Structure 1
Amino acid sequence: MAKKKTEAEKLHERIVGTGELAAIIGKSDRWVRQLTGEKVLQQVERGKYILGEAIQAYCEHVAGGKEEDKRPRLIDYKTEHEKTKAEKAALELEHMKGNLHAAADVELLLSDLILTTKSRILGVPSRISTECENESAEVVEDIVRREIETALASLAKYTPDKIGGEIDHGSTKDG
């Protein structure tokens, strides 16, 4: 009985063949040979491995490599991928809540606001020309100010809920 206990303690030092190691890790002989060729597993002699070292090396390989290696590990790529998926889900949620808008929607709305305001301001001279005939400078100034304030009022009426919805393309009462 004492002999079995000694053997159990030294199981990690036991030398196993390619087939036996393949059966333990649940892969084929060919897979074990491929890992040996890639220097993941180290042989003590042709087709022989120290069980403990081979299992540890295989576990490190499955985890993506040794952490002290300069190259990125598979686990690092998987972690980065999961992090990216979480960020994407958070952005989609914010979009659904209406707290986040597509850049194209914002650009379209702002372009519409700018063009509408520009056309209203450029239309001021033609709208006030008849009103300002034979008027004093003070009256002309009041009329110009009133028309510019009317043109700029559309900017003050801007609401974020228009983003992503139907946008008014300059169809207003006064032009």
Structure 2
Amino acid sequence: MGLIRNCRALLFTGAIGLASLLTLFEASTPGLSGWALALVPYWLALAIAWSWMLGRAPGRRGWALWMFVPLVLVLGTVLLVKIDAPLHARFALSGPSLERYARSVRSDYAADRWWGLYWVDEVEKIPGGARFMVTSLTMDWKSYGFAYIPDRAPDPEEGRYEHFKGPWYIWSDGP
């Protein structure tokens, strides 16, 4: 019985770890893609399984120990997403590559390729910089990406921009 319980605990902890990794990956781009909808039932199934496993083993000391690891994973994931750590970390690793390309972008852009850790669907030269679309279809029917505009602040008539850091902005396009 102990081996079966440990196997279940290990599988459950792995499932929580996978859900955490997928959630952190999804949160590392601006805007939530359609894949975020697939994560909702996955997290819901894990919550149901967690409550079922806790209800089946009242008073067993060993259960409290193995439940600590999934709890830490869930709380860590929530905290990291809340403070936008995945987005900032992925961008910090990709920023030099994106900036190098943004400085040399021409009107005949190369899209559908990796720039740093982001798959760039579309590149557009704009006055004073460039825009990179990294999330093409989101839950709010918008496209999101990064805009590199080092010499000026973007004009509100040019689109929706939100300052990110330094000369970088998060931009969105759509309804």
Place the TM-score, normalised by the shorter chain, in its bin.
Answer: under 0.3
Q: TM-score, normalised by structure 1?
A: 0.22
Q: TM-score, normalised by structure 2?
A: 0.22
Larger radius of gyration: 1
